[in-house]
Chain A
Amino acid sequence: DVKVTQSSRYLVKRTGEKVFLECVQDMDHENMFWYRQDPGLGLRLIYFSYDVKMKEKGDIPEGYSVSREKKERFSLILESASTNQTSMYLCASSSGGFNTEAFFGQGTRLTVV
């Protein structure tokens, strides 16, 4: 079974801290995605990556950056966390093209205080 693992299920950080959310997949997938999920807003795409060291902005990239140094790992970075970045963050991966299923991690609920 495909497994997508997010490093933390719950995280509490202070305003202004640099925050790293880590995601690892074990199926050699080319594509990886970071979404944030907020009540009433659904899932919004922050960044995605289709290859090592490659990245593209999603719909809400402001305040975030990403890193993909190895194929299996995709990190989301909050350079200076703010309270409006309190949210649920979901990582996903998929192989092949746009017809393939995306597999999700269990999410990280981040609270910025």
Chain B
Amino acid sequence: AQTVTQSQPEMSVQEAETVTLSCTYDTSESDYYLFWYKQPPSRQMILVIRQEAYKQQNATENRFSVNFQKAAKSFSLKISDSQLGDAAMYFCASSELSGGSNYKLTFGKGTLLTVNP
């Protein structure tokens, strides 16, 4: 069974600075996807970034980038030039096949990010 571990329950960063959120995962599959989702106080969960396990190049979306270390099963999220609107709960997630063609999306416990002005 896949597991996702986020070891930082809370993090804080000064506005305009850079912060890295950690995530490790465990899976027996060779092909899978990894995701970072953001849940602001409005509760609306939105996708931040995704990474395919077969791709060695780290995914980037504007100020958000990942450091994907497949051998170490590590998938950290870096937020550059942090903004007040980045304050949210961040969830790391992995997706893998769960019998046949069905798949499961498993989440970590989340990291609450505070951005200080």
Q: Which residues of A contact B (CB under 8 A)?
A: 31, 33, 35, 40-45, 48, 50, 56, 58-59, 88, 90, 92, 94, 97-99, 101-102, 104, 106-107
**Does B62 belong to the interface (CB within 8 Å)?**
no
A26 to chain B, nearest CB (A): 16
Please pick, from B9, B44, B96, the residue contacting A104 in the complex, using a CB distance under 8 A: B44
Are B33 and A99 within 8 A (Cβ)?
Answer: yes
Interface residues of B in 93-110 (CB under 8 A from A): 95-99, 101-110
Of the 9-residue stretches B11-19, B45-53, B64-72, B76-84, which lies at the interface with chain A?
B45-53
Are A56 and B98 within 8 A (Cβ)?
Answer: yes
Q: Which residue of B lies closest to A44 (CB)?
A: B107
Q: Which residue of A lies closest to B99 (CB)?
A: A56
Are B105 and A40 within 8 A (Cβ)?
Answer: no
CB neighbours of B110 from chain A (8 A): 42-43
